[in-house]
Homo-oligomer: A and B are copies of this chain.
Amino acid sequence: MTVDTRDRLLEAALVMIREQGITGLTLDNVAKAARMSKGGLLHHFRSKDALVEALLRQLMDDFEARASQFYQQESERPGRWLRAYVRATFEDEPLPLELSLSLMASVTENAVLMALVRQDFEHWQERLLNDGVPRPRATIIRQAADAYWSERLIGVAPDEPEARLAIRDELLALTEAGHA
């Protein structure tokens, strides 16, 4: 049972970004990494942007799935989605969204892709702002969570397990604490 070719290509694209950064994400490279010709790649994705779009969608869907799972396990008190969001973000697991930052930057210049990102952003924003927690507080929590892996990606912040857990727990606490 062969793996779906499309998935193989997406996987290859991920690898390229991980290993060579956004600059390494060229059709030629991806094709080569998937042991296929560029023509073959373009047969599955009409253009580079189409490839990136598929990549983005996959990452978003993954995160959505992961967060939803945590949501189920979370108590019904206010801040339920926020906590799910925080937990999903701080999971150390596979972390398939490994790249977002670099991807983002490349997304910026394509209106269609930007719309996609913005839409996902708003989708979450709406959920998190109507979660029973004062909006500024909710925003801050989301932002801190987002920044957390942004920084991890750039490799700017050392990733110490204890520190990470402390931050995560502080964020979780902030979803419940009385508001200053």
Contacts and interface: CB of A to CB of B under 8 A. Distances in A.
Interface of A: 20-23, 101-102, 104-106, 108-109, 114, 117-118, 121, 125, 134-137, 139-144, 146-148, 150-151, 154-157, 163, 166-167, 169-171, 173-174, 176-177, 180
Contacts of A23: 109
A16 to B, nearest CB: 13
Contacts of A102: 105, 108
Contacts of A21: 108-109
A143 B135 CA distance: 17
A156 B167 CA distance: 25
Contacts of A170: 134, 136-137, 140, 180
Contacts of A156: 117-118, 121
